[in-house]
Amino acid sequence: MSLRILMLVALWPCLLVGQQPIDTSRGDAMLANYFQLRTKALENRYLEGITTKEDWLEKRSEYVQQLQEMLGLSPMPERTALRAKVTGTTEHEEFTVENIHFQSRPGLYVTGNLYIPKERNEKLPAILYVCGHGRVKEGDVSYGNKVNYHHHGSWFARNGYVCLTIDTLQLGEIEGIHHGTYSYGYFWWLNRGYTPAGVEAWNCIRALDYLQSREEVDGERLGVTGRSGGGAYSWWIAALDQRIKVAVPVAGITDLRNHVVDGTVEGHCDCMFMVNTYQWDYPMVAALMAPRPLLISNTDNDRIFPLDGVYRTFVKTRQVYELLGAADKVSLHVTSGPHKDTQELRVHAFRWFNHFLKGDDDLIRVPAEKFFKPQELQVFKEALPQDQQNTKISHSFVPVADLLDVADTSGAVDLLVEDVQDTLLAKAFRAWPENPVDLNVRKIADAYAEDLVMTSYDFISQAGIKLRLYTVHRKDLVKASKVLCQVQSDEDWNDFLGFYQDAFGDRDVLSDEVFPTETPEGLPDFEAFRQRALKNDAVWAYVAPRGIGRTVWDQSPRKQVQHRRRFYLLGESLGGMQIWDVRRAIQTLKMLKVNENAKLMVLGSKGPASLVMYASLFEELDAIGLEALAESDLDTVPILNASRFFSIDQMFAAAASRQRTMIKEIPAQSFPYTRKTAAVQQWSQEKFFFVPENEED
């Protein structure tokens, strides 16, 4: 049977003409329960195995390395020349402001204002002030969010500190992007292991380098603060860099429960989050500041940093300070108010720095005031630098996989497969259950249409995720010789319902599904399929991973985006967990008595093609059939970190080596690494076959 016929028989995607409104209640309830379960599991892992000071000190360096990796800073970028330049100065009677820029790496510009007291008799302590999102823009000119927050730098300078206030990637003078997944659907950032939080962390590290290069600064007395986004960046730099001696993150952190279960993720852009490969709850980031002085500061009515989560974070962070005998070095400051830069928040922060960096507990007598117009603090007063990388840094900040030599022996292919499997399990699929729950396969219903039988089975993919599998074969079939399983997309699911509606739509097996109001166009003829099924010892199987078909959840574009973001906050990706669903469906099919000795082929088109490819790396199959498999990591199913270690082409070569592989509807020159591997390994057409583009049967 040719690949084209297999595609038709397996009901590959067709144009859906019309359908009834989708009932998402089943999927919404399942997803909410799943997020609760997964959040609780990660909460329970906090400080797992750590009960003493020695335990913490032994593990701390490992945690720092993990955080570096989750921010895209492993390997740590080279500390290239800063090429710092002062482009202008602004005078106040008590201090001078230098408008500066430096390059944290070639072409990655950081614009900022350096506030320097005029009266100084010694090297001064310095504060790195990291801005939240505070747009200051007139026409096409962005002055940077440093302008919105310049009263902080002014206060520090009037009170005996040097203060460097730096713009963030987004809303800076050169306007980069924080909102990749939030606003633009750039879920390929997950494949790259990229988050703008990593850029902000790196810019902060280089900002400390710059401060230590200044003759006015005592490089041993450095502090960091900022609010909102700046509060988050304060956490990153305080955790990563021991040069920070005191930290006051303001409205910059809460825990996973707030983000994932309560939904505050929907109010945050991507700069607030690491790629959570190691499945941390956020108190772990805070704990890496210990035992250095840390003030967690927040208002009591902040909708995106709710007080309950902030308090839980503080309590968990304090556990580590207590282990280290430094409970007096951590505190929680709460004032009344919304998510806003209030005077009450500022006063306690100022006093905290004065106490720990200057040994000064006098009353704060000078308020934080704004003195300057935006134009006075502008760094690039003419054209922006042509060599800037800020606006496209997401494409290059995290290195992608190196080119690999084509495996020239069977042993080399085996090593490639092993390397791909081990790396993906460690870096992409850590959230897959280590001890899976029982599949608990249950037959739900049988239904007969003339000589065919359709059977539905429920199985447990993981705790909280129950899925359904459908099989169709002639009713007298006892032992199948082959099973053709289609992994469904939303379109495939509707085609499946439309194709079987007349035969089985009024039977128990499909009675609780919502059928298309019009039969999708282009479906194979059911009677022709029935005649084919009666002549073959074959089983046709259909499975929809979570979020597709009968477990579909809220289809609004906003919810689709925000649910996918919840997955990656938990150290997962939706695609990664759908691959797990495919694996569990394969395991279920192998358990069915009718399939006991059957050859198993799994098929997928477009997104499901990627799911099948990955699943075939971990499950023993006889064949896979892939249609329109995406070659670029910009277009494929998002999988955490995959592109950091392998190209899709390399992973496809590894997958294709494991079973018969047929691939259809791809450009003629695509997947060169896999093609070369097939040629060098002399894979026969029976084992590996590209259906030529536009070939007609």
pLDDT above 90 (res 519): no
Cβ atoms of 250 and 347 within 8 Å: the answer is no
CA 132 – CA 233 distance, rounded (Å): 9
Mean pLDDT of 400-422: 94
**Does residue 415 sit in the same domain as residue 493?**
yes
Helix ranges restricted to H, 521-657: 526-535, 557-569, 574-591, 607-616, 642-645, 648-656
Beta bridge pairs of residue 166: 112, 130
**Banded pLDDT at 694 (limits 50, 70, 90):** low
- Pair 237, 208: CB distance under 8 Å: yes
The yes-or-no verdict on residue 493 having pLDDT over 90 is yes
CA–CA distance, 303 with 206 (Å, rounded to integer) = 32
> CA 669, 670, 674, 679: dihedral to nearest 10 degrees?
-10
How would you class 418 by CB atoms within 10 Å of its CB: exposed for 0-12, middle for 13-18, buried for 19 or more? exposed
- Mark whether 473 and 351 lie in a shared domain: no
Q: Are residues 222 and 361 in the same domain?
A: yes
Q: Write out the H or E segment, with its range, that includes residue 136.
A: none
- Residue 509 banded pLDDT, cuts 50, 70, 90: confident
In DSSP terms, which residues pair with 333 in a beta bridge? 297
pLDDT value at residue 521: 78
Task: Show the domain range for 347.
Answer: 76-365+376-395
The pLDDT tens digits of the residues spanning 264-274 come to 999 999 999 99
Angle between helices 490-504 and 526-535 in degrees, nearest 10? 80
Measure the CA–CA gap between 674 and 662, rounded to whole angstroms. 12
Establish if 61 belongs to a structural domain. Answer: no
Give the number of other Cβ atoms within 10 Å of residue 555's Cβ. 13
Considering the domain boundaries, does residue 188 fall inside one? yes
Average pLDDT of the residues in 77-93: 97
Residue 70 lies in a domain: no
pLDDT at 18: 36
If you average pLDDT over every residue of the chain, what do you get? Answer: 93
Average pLDDT over residues 41-68: 97
Q: In the predicted model, is pLDDT for residue 696 greater than 90?
A: no
Q: 470 and 390 in one domain? A: no
Confidence category of residue 512, pLDDT binned at 50, 70, 90:
confident
| 437, 380: one domain | no
Task: List C-alpha distances in Å: 382 to 173, 387, 439, 684.
Answer: 11, 15, 65, 63
Contacts of 170 (CB under 8 A, 6+ apart): 133, 176, 177, 178, 179, 196, 269, 271
Domain shared by 197 and 255, yes or no: yes
pLDDT at 19: 41
**What does the pLDDT average to over 136-146?**
95
Task: State the pLDDT at residue 12.
Answer: 30
**Statement: residue 186 has pLDDT above 90:** yes
Backbone angles phi, psi at 400, to 5 degrees: -90, 175
Span 418-464, pLDDT tens digits: 999 999 999 999 999 999 999 999 999 999 988 999 999 999 999 99
For the whole prediction, is pTM greater than 0.85? Answer: yes
Give the pLDDT band of residue 366 (cuts 50, 70, 90).
confident
On whether both 468 and 342 belong to a single domain, the answer is: no
Per the domain annotation, does 309 fall within a domain? Answer: yes
pLDDT of 304 higher than 60: yes
Tell me, what's the pLDDT at 508? 83
Nearest CA among 170, 654, 670 for reference residue 410: 654
pLDDT of residue 407: 86
Residues 525 and 623 in one domain: yes
* Shared domain check, 81 and 212: yes
Binned at pLDDT 50, 70 and 90, residue 695 comes out as low
Same domain, 203 and 335: yes
Distance CA 601, CA 603 (A): 7
How many CB atoms are located within 10 Å of the residue 5 CB? 12
pLDDT above 60: residue 538: yes
313: left (phi over 0), alpha (psi -120 to 50) or beta: alpha
- Out of 367-371, 514-518, 570-574, 585-589, least confident range: 514-518
How many C-beta neighbours within 10 Å does residue 490 have?
18
Which pLDDT does position 2 carry in this prediction?
33
Residue 511: pLDDT band by 50, 70, 90 thresholds? confident
The pair of structure tokens assigned to 160 is 């005996």
**pLDDT at 130 (0 to 100):** 98
415, 299: one domain: no
Q: So what's the pLDDT on residue 690?
A: 84
Question: Does 478 have pLDDT greater than 60?
Answer: yes
Q: How many CB atoms neighbour CB 62 within 10 A?
A: 10
**Is 500 among the domain residues?**
yes
| CB 660, CB 623: distance < 8 Å | yes
Predicted confidence band of residue 219 (pLDDT cuts 50, 70, 90): very high
pLDDT higher than 90, residue 522: no
Asked whether residue 352 falls in the same domain as residue 443, the answer is no
pLDDT of the residue at 3: 36
Could you tell me if 66 and 170 are in contact, meaning their C-beta atoms sit under 8 angstroms apart? no
- The Cα–Cα gap between 619 and 248 comes to 49
**Per the domain annotation, does 52 fall within a domain?**
no
- Of 470, 488, 483, residue with least CA distance to 627: 488
Answer yes or no: is 56 within a domain.
Answer: no
What is the helix (H) or strand (E) element at residue 251, kind and residue range? none
For residue 627, CA distances in Å to 4, 411, 486 come to 10, 29, 12
Yes or no: say if 340 and 297 are a contact pair by the CB < 8 Å rule. no
- Structure tokens that stand for 247 in this block: 């930290």
Question: Which of the pair, 512 or 684, is modelled with greater confidence?
Answer: 684
What CATH number does the domain containing 207 carry?
A: 3.40.50.1820
What's the domain count of the chain? 2
161-198 b/e with 16+ CB inside 10 Å = b?
bbbbbbbbbbbbbbbbbbebbbeeebbbbbbbbbbbbb
Query: Using one digit for the tens of pLDDT, what is the confidence trace for 49-58?
Result: 999 999 999 9
Q: What is the mean pLDDT of residues 692-697?
A: 53
- Cβ-based neighbours of 511, under 8 Å, separated by 6 or more: none
Strands, sheet with 688-690, edge to edge from the N-terminal-most edge strand: 442-449, 452-462, 465-474, 538-543, 482-487, 599-605, 623-627, 660-664, 688-690
* Residue 30 domain-assigned (yes or no): no
pLDDT at 697: 39
User: What's the CA gap between 588 and 603, in Å, rounded?
Assistant: 16
